[in-house]
């Protein structure tokens, strides 16, 4: 009978450790996430006019680079230009790649912007894209971000693909 009671304190200790472990998991605050979006999400336009959209980034942790692909309706839109946004240029030197535009397929591939040597936490424009509307009557044209990557100077923070 004495031997059965000898192991009981060890069992209580094990239960206490498990309780503390589960409690720490349950009270861990939920982390926000970096948001990469297209703005404005919708707009009215006239056929034959230019449409300007921005790829906007809201980091939840310090970042130093991001990249994305974008698909669009090639029957309604044609890319005129892609330019660097201000999210990194307010801090230091940057490298910007406007990507590869394929207006016949409706894709922009490998647009990236990298901050040299620092990280930023402020939200801002990653890239500005100007489209020309074609003379086709359409009620809407969707834009879709794909293969979004966000990183800081030491690691990949987020991979997002639709």
3-state secondary structure the chain: CHHHHHCHHHHHHHHHHHHHHHHHHHCCCCCCCCEEEEECCCCCCCCCCEEEEEEEEECCCCECEEEEEEEECCCCEEEEEEEECCCCCCCCCEEEECCEEECCCCEEEEEEEEECCCCECCCEEEEEEEEEECCCCCCCCCEEEEEEEEECCCCEEEEECC
Q: Mean pLDDT, to the nearest integer, of 90-113?
A: 92
Which pLDDT belongs to residue 146? 93
Residue 84 has pLDDT above 90, yes or no: yes
Does some domain include residue 76? yes
Q: Mean pLDDT, to the nearest integer, of 149-156?
A: 79
Does some domain include residue 22? no
> What is the tally of structural domains in the chain?
1
Q: Mean pLDDT, to the nearest integer, of 75-86?
A: 93
Does some domain include residue 77? yes
Does some domain include residue 4? no
Which pLDDT belongs to residue 47? 72
Does some domain include residue 15? no
Tens of pLDDT, residues 12-69: 444 444 444 343 333 333 345 888 989 887 777 777 788 899 999 999 888 989 999 9
Does some domain include residue 9? no
Q: Give this prediction's pTM.
A: 0.74
Domain that residue 46 falls in: 35-160
The CATH number that applies at residue 78 is 2.60.40.680
Tens of pLDDT, residues 131-142: 998 866 555 678
């Amino acid at each position: 009978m004495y031997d059965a009671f000898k192991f009981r304190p060890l069992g209580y200790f094990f239960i206490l450790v498990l309780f503390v472990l589960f409690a720490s998991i349950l009270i861990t605050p939920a982390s926000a996430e970096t948001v990469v979006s297209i703005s404005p999400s919708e707009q009215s336009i006239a056929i034959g006019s230019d449409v300007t959209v921005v790829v906007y980034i809201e980091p939840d942790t310090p970042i130093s680079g991001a990249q994305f692909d974008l698909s669009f309706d090639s029957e309604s839109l044609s890319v005129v230009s892609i330019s660097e946004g201000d999210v990194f240029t307010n801090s230091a030197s940057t490298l910007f790649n406007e990507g590869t535009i394929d207006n016949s397929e409706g894709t922009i591939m490998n647009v990236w912007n990298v901050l040299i040597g620092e990280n930023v936490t402020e939200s801002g424009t990653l890239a500005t894209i100007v489209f020309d509307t074609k003379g086709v009557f359409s009620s809407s044209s969707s834009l879709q971000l794909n293969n979004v990557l966000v990183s800081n100077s030491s690691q990949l923070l987020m991979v997002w693909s639709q």
